[in-house]
Amino acid sequence: MAVFLSRLHHVSLHVSNAEKIANDLVSKFKFDLFAARLTDKSKQFAFRKGAAVFVVNERPSKSSQGNNSLGCLYDLSPLHPVDTVNNVCFEVEDVQRSFKVLRDLGCNFLVPPTTVEDVNGPVTYSVVKSIVGNVCHTLIEKTNYEGVFLPGFDVIEKDWSLGEEDMSCPVTHFDHITYACPRKTTYQVMGWYEKVFGFQRFFIDSNEDVDEGFVINQEGIGLRLTAMEYWKCSKAGIALPFAGKKEPDCKFVIAESLPEQGRNQVDTFLEQHRAPGIQHIGLYTKNIVFTAHTMAEAGVQFSSPPPAYYTQLGKQQEIEEAGHSPQMLAQHGILLDTDLHQDPLSQRASSESKRHLLQVFTKPIFAENTFFLELIERRGATGFGEGNIKALWQSVQAYMENERVDHLPRQRLTMASAF
């Protein structure tokens, strides 16, 4: 039996300069710094935007490594050579029980169940290694904890005079997390998440092949995508689908590169990150145009698709029919896909049954061409559209091939791919 997850709690980053990323998250991406843990051996900052929480950990310098007990709480300081996003932390009902179940399934634990306490009560956590590169999962049990975040963190009060909800940037939660994986590992990864956390496959597109996944192997794109989802659990630890109420949480997408079309962004990630791992995270927004505009004004850079995207046959009309202006979308490189969902009762696709998906990728946020963020607005569409995937892929390729190349140290570019 798998361990059922109550919900995604936070995602943690390990970086060489926490202040730099902290500044970007606050000033550019409009997250609020709401908790911090500063000790001689560690710097940990927690940021929130709606239900999306990032914890930024400063990687210790080489000389202070080795003693993790005083270092990162709820995580461990990875000996990773570059900035990385590598821990997706989940809340569970019972960490001790989860630990036993997962140990019996053969999982490797980096931190055994450990309890931390403050005046607000106890929290128990444990860290399990995944089979994807440096990705690990902290399991947290905080049912008896009444504090704002986690014991050990000082809470930073928000200045409520600034307004409760930022309507110009309505990001509400993490929509999906995309892994860059080596060739031919997709099914192993899916099998692990199914066995360990009860994740289930879902089809990205109606053209997807059960065995092959969603494959694009043409026009310079060599990509295999597959996706999985899980459901938030009810209090009793019962997965909601069985209780009749389905409430999916963050989705997981696996991206694998196909060799036929030449070296690409997944290969670049694997090479520069020096391991498989989290390539990007989709931030769900209620209004992508406002959000992209606010973030761009604050200095966020987005990857744009080729200009021809907005002038291709029928695209302008499609954008206008969805209630958007092609100029506004083009300004920040926002893409729009339409899913012609057929209403089973009417036998034809009516305008009400058209579902839209709007997406845009940011440029990488670390020094290397590795991790980036995505904004995603879903208007009825639950998967990922083929048109957007192609255009998103091309926007990243164009950036990597034309702009970024000169800024990178020479040896990184010539280093042979490890995969």
Ligand X SMILES: O=C(O)C(=O)Cc1ccc(O)cc1
Are 59 and 78 in contact by the 8 Å Cβ rule? The answer is yes
Give 121 or 380: the residue with its C-beta nearer to ligand X. 380
CB of 255 to ligand X, least distance (A): 4
Residue 124 CB-density burial (10 A; 0-12 exposed, 13-18 middle, 19+ buried): buried
- Position 282 contacts Fe ion (CB under 5 A): yes
Q: Was 164 annotated as part of a binding site?
A: no
- Position 364 contacts Fe ion (CB under 5 A): no
3-state secondary structure of 104: helix
Strand partners, 136: 87, 129
| Structure-token pair, residue 175 | 């929509």
Beta strands in 97-208 (DSSP E): 109-118, 121-129, 136-141, 154-155, 171-181, 200-202
Instruction: Give the one entry of ligand X, Fe ion, none that residue 29 binds, where binding means its C-beta sits below a cut-off of 5 to 8 angstroms depending on kind.
Output: none
Instruction: Give the one entry of ligand X, Fe ion, none that residue 204 binds, where binding means its C-beta sits below a cut-off of 5 to 8 angstroms depending on kind.
Output: none
Instruction: Give the one entry of ligand X, Fe ion, none that residue 87 binds, where binding means its C-beta sits below a cut-off of 5 to 8 angstroms depending on kind.
Output: none
* Stretch in the footprint of Fe ion (CB under 5 A) among 100-108, 277-285, 291-299, 409-417: 277-285
CB of 264 to ligand X, least distance (A): 8
- Position 267 contacts Fe ion (CB under 5 A): no
CB of 314 to Fe ion, least distance (A): 24
Q: Was 176 annotated as part of a binding site?
A: yes
Distances (CA, A) of 403 to 63, 201, 368, 382: 36, 36, 13, 33
CB of 79 to ligand X, least distance (A): 26
User: Closest residue to ligand X, Cβ-based?
Assistant: 255
Q: Was 368 annotated as part of a binding site?
A: no
Residues at the site binding ligand X, with contacts judged by CB under 6 A: 178, 225, 253, 255, 265-266, 282, 359, 374, 384, 388-389, 392-393, 396
Give the whole-angstrom CA distance, residue 90 versus residue 321.
Answer: 39
CB of 175 to ligand X, least distance (A): 8
- Position 385 contacts Fe ion (CB under 5 A): no
Q: Is the dihedral of CA 360, 249, 230, 342 positive or negative?
A: negative
Pick out residues in 156-195 that bind Fe ion (CB under 5 A): 178
Residue 214: what residue type? F
Q: Any residues with CB less than 8 A from the CB of 148 and at least 6 apart, and which? A: 34, 35, 155
- Position 151 contacts Fe ion (CB under 5 A): no
Instruction: Give the one entry of Fe ion, ligand X, none that residue 225 binds, where binding means its C-beta sits below a cut-off of 5 to 8 angstroms depending on kind.
Output: ligand X
- Position 374 contacts Fe ion (CB under 5 A): yes
Residue pointed to by tokens 């997706």: 88
Burial code (b: 16+ CB inside 10 Å, e: under 16) for 391-415 equals bbbbbbbebbeeebeeeeeeeeeee
Q: Any residues with CB less than 8 A from the CB of 136 and at least 6 apart, and which? A: 76, 86, 87, 110, 127, 128, 129, 130
Give 329 or 396: the residue with its C-beta nearer to ligand X. 396
Binding site residues, Fe ion, CB under 5 A: 178, 282, 374
Annotated binding site: 176, 280, 374
As annotated, the binding site for Fe cation includes: 176, 280, 374
